[in-house]
Chain A
Amino acid sequence: MPVTVKTFQALSEAASALSSDRATRYLGGGTLVMRDLNEGDVSVATVIRATDRALQGIDAAGARIRIGAGVTFSRVLAERDLSFLHPAARSIGGPAVRNMGTVGGNLFAPAPFGDFTVALLALDGMVSMQGGFGLRDMPLEEFLQSRDRQAGALVVAVSCLRPASADAFRYRKIARIKPKGGSVITLAAHLPQSGGRVTGARIALGSMAPTAVRAKGAERALEGRPLDAGAISAAAAAAAEGTAPTDNSLASAWYRREVVGVHLRRLLSGQES
């Protein structure tokens, strides 16, 4: 069924159009919305696009980097300053999907997709949204918890912390098909250390709930301790706390709960998957 396509230059106009009607979806790279249209999703009557250059911006100068929502994963991979995000970007799709899929769209990707968002969540991600009343920032964790209600807001950019060292941020996607496949579990850990002890650890998991979630039990187990075998074991034991995985063709919920601790242990210990 044909839909109405509206293209706006100004973000504010696109945001107003997006929030005016429940049957409206924003189209970024197309990998989510076009898929729904191809499947005959009749809940979509209008597709909104925006051409504002702000959606394509990357500001990697400071300790908190900002990436426009329309930036593709290929562009992330082309930015040397974003090298800490390259493993997450590279783990998504094949080259064609990475040429199309955007950082902003990934926030809305349902499990078992949305791997880049897992990395952002571990790096204290923030979401900038253009609403009817202007720009506002929201912590990514809060955004994900209320994602269904955010459909009317236009995501303009995301920001996240730059890890202090290469070793302070670790990312791993567990997939059955190499080199590309849907996620069984995706893990990201930001482990800042001060005086040999972990301070402010953030661990995020993908495919362990409908959206990316933080493993707060595992974070608590590491807090204030050296990253040694004892702390890693305690974190691994707490990895499944607060998660709600579901069965899909890649793995059962039971399997995911059973192995998440194993993979977190390997990630924290620096072992191969």
Chain B
Amino acid sequence: MAKTPLQFRHNGRDVALFVDGGTNLLVVLREMLGDVTPKFGCGQGGCGACTVLIDGDAHLSCLTLAEAVEGRAVETLDGIKSGPTLHPLQRAFADGFAAQCGYCTPGMLMAAKALLDKIPQPSREQVVEAISGNICRCTGYEPIINAVLAAAASLRASA
């Protein structure tokens, strides 16, 4: 079966490749571009481990047809740090013990980034809502919510 050409922006870098019909964005990112930060969890849209930002909005890459991101900007966890410096969200997660096994963490961080990019001073309720599609089986969520709020404060302080 013929492959389809696909071009999009991946963490600020233009990429061009050929994909099989029906390939999802997660497979393109992990297996074709080597960006393994988005995780494969359920493949059904239930866990949020594969969350990435498409044109700034949170999407589930496992349920995104690769061809649907033609010409769009895709941002993954791999792209949020600045050189060797962690993003304030990553720093807050590390400082606040918000990652245990770590499998949900990339999705959590991208869901949180989608929130903070739009609402720099979120309420606790808004944080809970923002990560409500992301499942964590280790932490009980409280350290994650606290870390997102701490990161928001840190980002505001450095603004």
Closest chain B CB from A104 CB (angstroms): 16
A180 and chain B: residue at smallest CB distance? B132
Partner-contacting stretch, out of A2-10, A81-89, A136-144, A206-214: A2-10
Report A218-245 residues with CB < 8 Å from chain B CB: none
Q: Does A151 contact B (CB under 8 A)?
A: no
Contact A7/B133 with A31-B45, A34-B62, A38-B24 known, Cβ cut-off 8 Å: no
Flag if A94 contacts B65 (CB, 8 Å). Answer: no
Question: B1-12 vs A: 1/0 string, CB under 8 Å?
Answer: 100100000000
Tell me the complex Cα distance, A206–B74, Å: 35
Q: Does A270 contact B (CB under 8 A)?
A: no
Closest chain B CB from A232 CB (angstroms): 31
Partner of A180, one of B20, B24, B114, B133: B133
> How many inter-chain residue pairs (CB < 8 Å) link A and B?
93
Tell me the complex Cα distance, A96–B62, Å: 11
Question: What is the size category of the interface that chain A forms with chain B?
Answer: 20 to 34
Which residues on B sit within 8 Å (CB–CB) of A27? 65
Tell me the complex Cα distance, A241–B68, Å: 44
Q: Does B131 contact A (CB under 8 A)?
A: yes
Tell me the complex Cα distance, A225–B128, Å: 41
Q: What is the size, in residues, of chain B's interface with A at 8 Å between Cβ atoms?
A: 32
Which residues on A sit within 8 Å (CB–CB) of B43? 35, 38-39
Tell me the complex Cα distance, A83–B59, Å: 24
A30 and chain B: residue at smallest CB distance? B63
B40 and chain A: residue at smallest CB distance? A38
Report B1-29 residues with CB < 8 Å from chain A CB: 1, 4, 20-24
Tell me the complex Cα distance, A3–B2, Å: 10
Q: Does B90 contact A (CB under 8 A)?
A: no
Which residues on A sit within 8 Å (CB–CB) of B22? 1-3, 5, 37, 44, 47
Besides A1-B22, A34-B63, A47-B22, 7 new A-B residue pairs in contact (Cβ under 8 A), listed by A number: A31-B63, A39-B43, A49-B67, A94-B48, A95-B130, A96-B58, A100-B64
